Every structure is written in C-alpha cells, then in structure tokens.
C-alpha cells in the first residue's frame, strides 16, 4: 500500500465515524456546532498521531502480555497533555467539550489504531496512518457539526447567515442521532456510486 | 529485533518504566500549564465582573468576601468594585437550582444605592434555543438599571413585572429568583 | 442532596446514553437482541458500581491529598482496565454461571466510555461516597433501560420494510434519535 493510500483511506473508505462506526460518543456529544466538532477532531488527531508514533517506537521493548496496559498509559498521557493545554490556552472551547476530552482515552479509534496498526508497522507508516485517521475523524466531526449548526441555529462556524431560530431539535441530543444517521446513509450511497 | 519475552520481571519492569516516564512528563506539562490555567479562570471571572459593575481600579477578585444567603443555601460571593478606595458597585455571584436543567449561576451587578446595573449569565444548562434566550438583551434588559424595591422580580404569571421568555417560563423564573436572591443577600451584608 | 433526585435525573432526564452520549458504541453493537442487551446491562452495572467506588477512594485518599489531580485520567483508566480483568478472573473461579452470562461482555467494557465518564462525573459533581454509588447504579439502570428499549424496537425493525439506503446503522441511529426525543419529555420533572 502506498503511503498516499495509507493517508487517504481515513477520509472516505475507512472513515472512523461514517464507516468504521468508532468514536461515536464524542461524534454525537460535542457536535452541536461546527467549531466544537472541529476542536474535538483536532484534539483527537493530536492524541492519535502522538500515540501512534510513540507506540511504533517502543513496540519492541514491550513484552507481549503487558502491551495493552502500556499503550493505554501512553494514550492517557497524551490525553492529559491535551486536556491541560486546552484548559490553559483555549478555556472557552475546553469548557464546551468538557467531559469528552478525558474520554478520548477510551475512544476506540485511538487504542484500535495503536493495537491494530502502530504495534505492527514502521514509524513512518504509523505516523501517516495516525494523521490520516485523525484528519478523517476531524472531517467527520466538522461535517456533522456544520450540518447540525446550519439546520439548528442557522449559522456556520458561529457566523449567522439568516435571522431566526432554525430547527431546534438539531442542536439538541436527538438531532445528533438523526443527523448522523442520515449522513451515514448518504455516505453509503456515495460509496456505492 | 525480537520481541521481549513476557517474564514476570520483564512485565513489571516495563510497566513501571512506562508509568514513571508518563507521570514525569505529565508533571512537567502540569507545571508549564498551571499558570495559564489559573490566568484563564481569573480572566473568565473578571470578564463577568467587568460587564456588570462600573469601571474600577481595585482587584475585586482578591477582595472577594462571602455573605450567608440564608437557611439551606450556599453563601454568595461578593466582588466589590472600588474607585479611589470607595465602593462604586458590587458583583454578586448568585445561583439557583430551579432552572429547567438545574443550576443557573448569575453575576449580578448592584450599585451602592441598591439598583441593579446589569446581569451576566455565568453558568447554565438550559435548553439551547429556548432557555438560552435568557442571555439575550430582550429578556435581560428588563433587569437593567432597575430599582429592585420598585419592580417585582417575578414573571408575570406569578404576579411579577417580568415578561417571561416564550416557551421558557421555568428558565425565566429561575433567572428572576437568582436575581432576587442576590438583591436580598446584598441588603444583608453588601455594604461592608 | 436528595437521593431520589439523583436516581430520577440519572435514569430519565440526563440519561447517560440518550442525553449524554456515553456508551454509544456498545449501544449500537449489542442491541440487536433483547437477551444480549440484558447481559450487557448486568455487566455494566457490576463494573460501573465497582469502578466508581474504587476511583472515588483513589481520588480522595491519593490524588486529592497529594494534589496530583492531573494524573486522574491515567490512573482511572488503568484502574478500570485492571478491575475488568480482575472481575473476569474472579468470576470465572467463583461463579461460573455468572461468568457464562456476563463473560463475553466484560472485555468490551474497558473501552465503554460510560464507565470512565461516570467515574469522572461523580468527582466533578462533588458527591460523597454513598451518593456516588447511588449515581453509578442509577446510571447503569438508565443505560440498561435505553439498551433494552432499543433492542426491543430493533427486533421489530427486522420485520419492517425499510428503504435500502437507510437500512442497518442509519435506521438504528434515527430510531435512537426518536427515543432520545421521547426521553426529552422527562426534562423539568424534578
């Protein structure tokens, strides 16, 4: 597999949210606006990239049986770094994302990629895989956030393009499920075509 | 390179080293971000205070004092704003648990003569698009520059003077209640 | 704090699955059949309560006194992961019948964000130990309620004619949305 394919697969073919259905909790929980979705995506991207890189570097020093616990520690470390840095430098966003930042640690994508990809492949491939998957995740969350924000608050990235209230249900919890459901349906159609 | 074997010593040593490195790294990052986090928290508080009291030259957060609000309630935080040593307004951090989704926290600016200068919503979990309208000027400005002894701080449904937000009476009621609590508590001990 | 308020709000108003989106992965994964969703609920309740107690104690006797709250995430996830392993081993020895019923679901639970989520929430909400346990149990019940309701609906959906485009996961998500809408009717009752 060429590195380009390795990178690009995260967007459509193996998009973590739309196709693999991983990391749905943050995808549903924080996407009431496009900005929140993007911030969450970028935070996850950072954790994914860093943990993939570190895991592929240390994989040979870790005995087989304690592999998973060691990976979890590595991931949790980067999650905490993101948590602290965001609290200090982007407090508004940090407050919005709240609980979902520490929960990146149990996001199935991160451990899944470390275990399935980075613990077997080279440093370079792991890095590109992390970047591709992370960007795919960011793309999915931003898309979902934009759709919900456009329909729910008639604005995009905080920019109001029309007066009025929009369809409120889309910024409420039920709207998250419904919007994601239809996006996945669209994605399925797109894949087949 | 061959993988390490999973002997007991190997496993313990590996986990120990991994966690040690991880916690050392975290301790370092924690030290680095400690100041910005404190600064961000302070800035958030100051922003709410600045919005509800006249311009001041002291440090309201450092001079914060607490006043008991009454039976079964947490005491409220008072942030005095002073200019030239004289109190020109007080930001009262008031709250209520009767919001549609529980807690609503307000910063109420009270002038020395007892009038309300302005109110900021600090924290809430109300329904987006409905209860959140309590942050909009249309609702909030009903409380601006009023003398609480002349205006009944209740929604009209409850016999007061406040127009409730359409489809969000509970949020409006909670907002009025928290404001009333701030005013009452201010009377008790705001002029320190 | 009134325990009834904690129970009602955790089960109905702030339902962990439908309003807070914690534990959505197993929600979609094991909700095909009623029987599996009961098994999953049992496992979640068991681990969630245990994990909340243990993490609560860690927070109060280790993290807070030494002022190392920044190690919260890392220590909690390690505790939960090892707890799940331990429960698995003990159950196998002590109660093979229970292990048979819950065993398959246990490994899935480590990455169930509901567990870690609840453990962090009780610290944020500053509950005491008993309140935390009540909160954990009611959240598990809320999780179970949503899961069982959803599984019941999905069993019926197998018989319905659904347009090809949204068959499967999209339909499941839209149903979850409607269920979440129904649960929103509970807001404001406490």
Nearest-CB residue to B15 (from A58, A69, A81): A69
Instruction: Tell me the C-alpha distance between B55 and B52, whole Å.
Output: 9
Which among B160, B168, B166, B123 has a CA at the least distance from the CA of B143? Answer: B160
Nearest-CB residue to A70 (from B14, B29, B43): B14
Residue of B nearest to C9 (CA): B101
**What is the structure's pLDDT at B4?**
62
**pLDDT above 70 coverage of chain A, percent:** 98
Residue C19 near chain A (CB below 8 Å) = yes
| Average pLDDT value for residue range C24-28 | 75
Which among A90, A174, A135 has a CA at the least distance from the CA of B33? Answer: A90
User: Is residue B5 assigned to a domain?
Assistant: no
Instruction: Tell me the C-alpha distance between C151 and A39, whole Å.
Output: 33
> C18: burial class by Cβ within 10 Å (0-12, 13-18, 19+)?
buried
Q: Which residue has the higher pLDDT, A1 or C81?
A: C81
> Which residues, at least 6 apart from A4, have a Cβ–Cβ distance to it below 8 Å?
none
- Nearest Cα of chain A lies from the Cα of B85 at a distance, in angstroms, of 32
**Predicted confidence (pLDDT) at residue B88 exceeds the cutoff of 80:** yes
Nearest-CB residue to C70 (from B30, B102, B127): B30
pLDDT tens digits along C82-138: 888 888 888 788 878 777 766 667 777 776 788 888 888 888 888 888 889 999 999
**Predicted confidence (pLDDT) at residue A108 exceeds the cutoff of 80:** no
Cα separation values, A101 from B159, B171, C22, Å: 45, 29, 13
Taking one residue from A and the other from C, the number of pairs with CB-CB distance under 8 angstroms is 116
Pairing of strands B65-67, B76-83: antiparallel
- Give the tokens for residue B149: 């002894």
What subunits touch chain B, counting only 3 or more CB pairs under 8 A?
A, C
**What is the structure's pLDDT at C189?**
66
Q: Are B110 and B78 a contacting pair, CB within 8 Å?
A: no
Judging contacts by C-beta atoms under 8 Å, the chain C residues touching residue A169 are: 181
Residue with tokens 């969630």: C48
Can you name the residues that pair with B124 across neighbouring β-strands?
A: B104
**Predicted confidence (pLDDT) at residue C152 exceeds the cutoff of 70:** yes
Pairing of strands B65-67, A159-160: unpaired
Can you name the residues that pair with B91 across neighbouring β-strands?
A: B79, B109
- Nearest Cα of chain C lies from the Cα of A41 at a distance, in angstroms, of 16
**What is the structure's pLDDT at C104?**
67
Instruction: Tell me the C-alpha distance between C60 and C129, whole Å.
Output: 10
- Nearest Cα of chain C lies from the Cα of B45 at a distance, in angstroms, of 19
**Predicted confidence (pLDDT) at residue C4 exceeds the cutoff of 80:** yes
From chain B residues 68-97, the ones with a CB under 8 A of any chain C CB are: none
Q: Are C18 and C146 a contacting pair, CB within 8 Å?
A: yes
Which among C115, C62, A67 has a CA at the least distance from the CA of B6? Answer: A67
Phi, psi (degrees; rounded to nearest 5) at B74: -70, 150
Q: Quick one: CA torsion of C122, C127, C130, C136, rounded to 10 degrees? A: -20
**Cβ–Cβ of C177/A172 closer than 8 Å?**
no
**Predicted confidence (pLDDT) at residue C190 exceeds the cutoff of 70:** no
User: Is residue B116 assigned to a domain?
Assistant: yes
Residue C68's pLDDT band (cuts 50, 70, 90): confident
Q: Are A30 and A141 a contacting pair, CB within 8 Å?
A: yes
Structural domain of B125: 52-189
Residue B23 near chain C (CB below 8 Å) = yes
What SS3 state is found at B93?
Answer: strand
- Could you give the number of structural domains in chain B? 1
Nearest-CB residue to A106 (from C116, C170, C176): C116
**What is the structure's pLDDT at A47?**
92
What is the distance in angstroms between the CA of the first residue and the CA of the last residue of chain B?
73
**What is the structure's pLDDT at B171?**
86
**Predicted confidence (pLDDT) at residue A143 exceeds the cutoff of 80:** yes
- Nearest Cα of chain C lies from the Cα of A120 at a distance, in angstroms, of 21
> C161: burial class by Cβ within 10 Å (0-12, 13-18, 19+)?
exposed
- Nearest Cα of chain C lies from the Cα of A2 at a distance, in angstroms, of 31
Instruction: Tell me the C-alpha distance between C178 and C154, whole Å.
Output: 13
User: Is residue B32 assigned to a domain?
Assistant: no
Q: Which residue has the higher pLDDT, C43 or A138?
A: A138
Q: What is the pTM of this model?
A: 0.83
Residue with tokens 């609503």: B104
| Neighbour tally for B16: CB within 10 Å | 10
**What is the structure's pLDDT at B93?**
87
**Cβ–Cβ of C81/A69 closer than 8 Å?**
yes
Residue B22 near chain C (CB below 8 Å) = yes
Residue B1's pLDDT band (cuts 50, 70, 90): very low
Which of B76-82's residues contact partners 24+ apart within 8 Å by CB, and which partners?
B76/B181, B76/B182, B76/B185, B78/B186, B78/B189, B78/B190, B78/B192, B79/B45, B79/B49, B79/B53, B80/B192, B81/B49, B81/B53, B81/B54, B81/B56, B82/B56, B82/B57, B82/B58
- Nearest Cα of chain A lies from the Cα of B100 at a distance, in angstroms, of 14
Cα separation values, A155 from A33, A164, B137, C143, C173, Å: 9, 10, 19, 33, 24
User: Is residue B101 assigned to a domain?
Assistant: yes
**Cβ–Cβ of C176/A177 closer than 8 Å?**
yes
**Predicted confidence (pLDDT) at residue B3 exceeds the cutoff of 60:** no
Which among A23, A19, A10, A31 has a CA at the least distance from the CA of A173? Answer: A31
DSSP A164: S
Residue B27 near chain C (CB below 8 Å) = yes
Task: For chain A, give every domain's residue range.
Answer: 3-192
**What is the structure's pLDDT at B2?**
45
**What is the structure's pLDDT at C139?**
92
Residues in chain B: 192
Residue B169 near chain C (CB below 8 Å) = no
**What is the structure's pLDDT at B55?**
83
- Give the tokens for residue B128: 């987006």
What's chain C's average pLDDT? Answer: 83
Instruction: Tell me the C-alpha distance between A101 and A39, whole Å.
Output: 10
Q: Quick one: CA torsion of C127, C131, C136, C139, rounded to 10 degrees? A: -100
Residue of C nearest to B29 (CA): C70
- Give the tokens for residue C136: 């954990």
Judging contacts by C-beta atoms under 8 Å, the chain B residues touching residue C1 are: none
**What is the structure's pLDDT at B11?**
81
Q: Which residue has the higher pLDDT, A180 or B159?
A: A180
**Cβ–Cβ of C178/A174 closer than 8 Å?**
yes
**Cβ–Cβ of B37/A76 closer than 8 Å?**
no
> A47: burial class by Cβ within 10 Å (0-12, 13-18, 19+)?
buried
Lowest mean pLDDT among A33-42, C22-31, C87-96: C22-31
Q: Are A37 and A31 a contacting pair, CB within 8 Å?
A: yes
pLDDT tens digits along B99-129: 777 788 888 888 888 888 888 888 887 777 7
DSSP A130: H
């Amino acid at each position: 597999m060429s590195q380009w394919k390795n990178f690009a697969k995260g967007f459509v073919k193996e998009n973590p949210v739309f196709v693999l259905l991983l990391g749905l909790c943050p995808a549903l929980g924080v996407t009431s606006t496009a900005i929140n979705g993007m911030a969450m995506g970028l935070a996850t991207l950072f954790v994914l990239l860093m943990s993939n890189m570190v895991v592929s570097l240390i994989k040979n020093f870790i005995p087989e049986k304690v592999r998973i616990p060691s990976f979890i520690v590595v991931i949790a470390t980067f999650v905490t770094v993101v948590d602290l840095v965001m609290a200090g430098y982007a407090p508004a966003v940090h407050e919005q994302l709240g609980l979902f930042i520490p929960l990146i640690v149990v996001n199935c994508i991160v451990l899944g990629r470390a275990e399935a990809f980075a613990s077997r492949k080279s440093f370079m491939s792991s890095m590109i895989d992390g970047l591709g998957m992370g960007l795919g995740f960011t793309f999915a969350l931003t898309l979902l956030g934009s759709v919900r924000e456009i329909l729910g608050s008639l604005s995009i990235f905080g920019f109001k393009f029309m007066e009025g209230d929009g369809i409120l249900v889309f910024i409420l919890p039920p709207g998250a499920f419904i919007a994601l459901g239809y996006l996945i349906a669209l994605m399925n159609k797109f894949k087949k075509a | 390179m061959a993988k390490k074997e999973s002997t007991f010593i190997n496993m313990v040593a590996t986990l120990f080293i991994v966690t040690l490195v991880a916690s050392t790294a975290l301790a370092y990052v924690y030290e680095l971000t400690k100041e910005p986090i404190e600064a961000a928290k302070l800035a958030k508080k100051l922003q709410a205070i600045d919005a509800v009291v006249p311009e001041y030259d002291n440090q309201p957060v450092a001079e914060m004092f607490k006043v008991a609000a009454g039976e079964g309630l947490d005491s409220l935080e008072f942030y005095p704003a002073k200019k030239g040593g004289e109190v020109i307004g007080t930001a009262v951090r008031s709250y209520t648990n009767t919001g549609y989704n529980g807690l609503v926290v307000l910063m109420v600016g009270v002038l020395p003569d007892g009038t309300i200068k302005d109110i900021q919503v600090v924290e809430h979990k109300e329904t987006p698009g409905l209860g959140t309208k309590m942050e909009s000027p249309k609702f909030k400005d009903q409380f601006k520059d009023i003398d609480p002894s002349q205006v009944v701080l209740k929604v009209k449904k409850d016999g007061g003077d406040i127009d409730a937000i359409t489809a969000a009476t509970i949020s409006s009621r909670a907002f009025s209640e928290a404001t009333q609590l701030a005013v009452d508590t201010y009377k008790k001990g705001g002029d320190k | 704090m009134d325990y009834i308020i904690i129970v009602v709000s955790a089960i109905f108003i702030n339902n962990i699955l439908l309003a807070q989106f914690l534990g959505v992965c197993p929600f979609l994964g094991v909700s095909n059949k009623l029987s599996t969703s009961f098994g999953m609920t049992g496992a979640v309740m068991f681990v969630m309560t245990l994990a909340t107690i243990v993490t609560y104690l860690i927070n109060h006797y280790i993290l807070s006194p030494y002022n190392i709250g920044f190690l919260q995430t890392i220590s909690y996830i390690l505790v939960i992961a090892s707890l799940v392993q331990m429960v698995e081993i003990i159950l196998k020895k002590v109660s093979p019948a229970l292990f048979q019923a819950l065993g398959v679901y246990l490994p899935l639970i480590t990455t169930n964000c509901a567990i870690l989520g609840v453990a962090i929430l009780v610290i944020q909400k500053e509950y005491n130990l008993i309140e935390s346990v009540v909160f954990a149990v009611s959240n598990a019940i809320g999780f179970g309620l949503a899961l069982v309701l959803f599984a019941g609906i999905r069993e019926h959906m197998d018989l319905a004619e659904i347009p090809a485009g949204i068959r499967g996961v999209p339909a499941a998500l839209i149903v979850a949305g409607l269920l979440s809408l129904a649960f929103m009717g509970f807001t404001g009752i406490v």
